[in-house]
A = this chain, B = another copy of it.
Amino acid sequence: MTTLWEERYAERMEGMKSSVIRELLKITMQPDVISFAGGLPAPELFPIRDFGDACRYILSEQGHTALQYGPSEGFPPLVEWLCEKMKRYGVPAEPHNVVITCGAQQALDLIGKVFIDPGDVILVEKPTYLGALQAWNAYQAQFATVPIDDDGMQVDLLEKAVIQHRPKFIYVLPNFQNPAGTTLPLERRQKLVAIADKHGVPIVEDDPYGELRFEGEDITPIITLHKENTLYLGTFSKTLAPGLRIGWIVGPHPVIRRIVQAKQGADLHTSSFVQMLAYDICSRGLLKGHIAQIRAVYKERRDVMLQALERYAPAGVTWTKPLGGLFLWVRMPEGFSCRDLMEEAVKQKVAFVPGTAFYVDGAGDNTMRLNFSNAQPAMIQEGIKRLCTAMRQFMECDIDTEAPVM
């Protein structure tokens, strides 16, 4: 017997699915599985002692504020601190240009709520961040795509897509993209912005990983090139701690005001206490050193993963070489299915995310996303060895099946 509720779902629920990744995470939580599936930061780097100091200070000095309701826009000193930080990074921002969100995921959701009518087309990279698709599916968006290569979005193909699909906005992850780990060079950013300007299309620039650069120089953010026609998304999830759930949007004041209205209805405001914790750590100047540490550790892990792939990967398998972030992208030869590979991989006690989850059109079945931030070097080495064994067995077996030796 179904309940009255089950007969009454809104139409938008038809397109709403659980995240493959979050479902997968439950399976791969067994302790003997080496998982490259999640997008989890390395927990051993969390600045737990700094959080302890921050808790003590805030509860003793400002406990009443920390535990009380707060403004929907965010904790004002944190907003001001973020503006200074954004400016140094090249993003023009005054306090009235910023709203604090519950992680960048809520930023995506609120942007969907404020801008997406059913049937609106959003232009995304192919592949793109699964969480954005999930957030905007709930507003019945349609998606058009521009493929990426090892330098991110192929902007040569962008104008045609813009003309054909007239998107409401373009969504791009320019730095160490999720899932592919690619970075958009300056010339491509300029071309992207020129096309967006020419056709009057605004841009959502999602930048959760920009500060986790291992080598080379920061590249000018798109918002700096495109100014008030870009909404820029930042987060503490990768630089400080995802368990806080703090992200932010930078954009034109009138737009931020509407997003704040949407946030009021969505959850009133982000936890005062966690915002004050983040502010305390940031204002004591501890974030910078912490990020430097993360960079060094993740760089080593990326190197270990790349070296292990060089050493163990079967012929025909290729991968990206990210300059930062948390992920790299592996491609098996065309025709092999990474969803089918998963079965073999789980036997070998290793896990990844099948790449097709990041495609809006079911493509990318020969690809997979590997996370290198969460596991320690020895585990990465062992995990890649297992993964490559699984790939080799799978590829041989699959070839046997398709072209049996008579």
Contact (A59, B51) CB under 8 Å given A72-B22, A115-B10, A201-B4:
yes
Residue of B nearest to A237 (CB): B69
Q: Is the CB of B109 within 8 A of A265?
A: yes
0 or 1 for each of A56-73: is its CB under 8 Å from B? (1 = yes) = 100110011111111110
* CA A64 to CA B47, docked complex, whole Å: 10
CA A264 to CA B13, docked complex, whole Å = 13
Tell me whether A161 is interfacial, beta carbon within 8 Å.
no
Residue of B nearest to A197 (CB): B4
Known: A106-B266, A245-B267, A266-B109. A202 touches B4 (CB 8 A): yes
Is A258 engaged at the interface, CB distance under 8 Å to the other chain? yes
CB neighbours of A90 from chain B (8 A) = none
* Contact across chains for A262 and B168 when beta carbons are under 8 A apart: no
Assess whether A271 is in contact with B274, with CB atoms less than 8 Å apart: yes
Most buried by B among A113, A139, A237: A113
Are A63 and B40 in contact (CB-based, < 8 A)? no
Write the nearest CB–CB distance from A99 to chain B, whole angstroms: 13
Q: For A52, give its contact among B13, B56, B120 (CB under 8 Å).
A: B56
Report chain B residues within 8 Å CB of A139.
Answer: 10
Q: Roughly how many angstroms separate A13 CA and B251 CA in the complex, as a whole number?
A: 17
Of A40, A41, A55, A134, chain B has the most CB atoms within 10 Å of the CB of A55
Q: Give which listed residue, B5, B113, B251, B274, contacts A251 with CB less than 8 A.
A: B5
Query: Which chain A residues in 254-307 approach chain B with CB under 8 Å?
Result: 254-255, 258, 260-262, 264-274, 277
What 19 new A-B contacts, CB under 8 Å, besides A12-B113, A38-B69, A271-B274? A5-B229, A10-B115, A16-B261, A16-B262, A22-B72, A44-B64, A46-B68, A48-B64, A51-B63, A52-B56, A67-B242, A68-B243, A69-B243, A102-B270, A103-B267, A103-B268, A109-B265, A245-B269, A274-B274
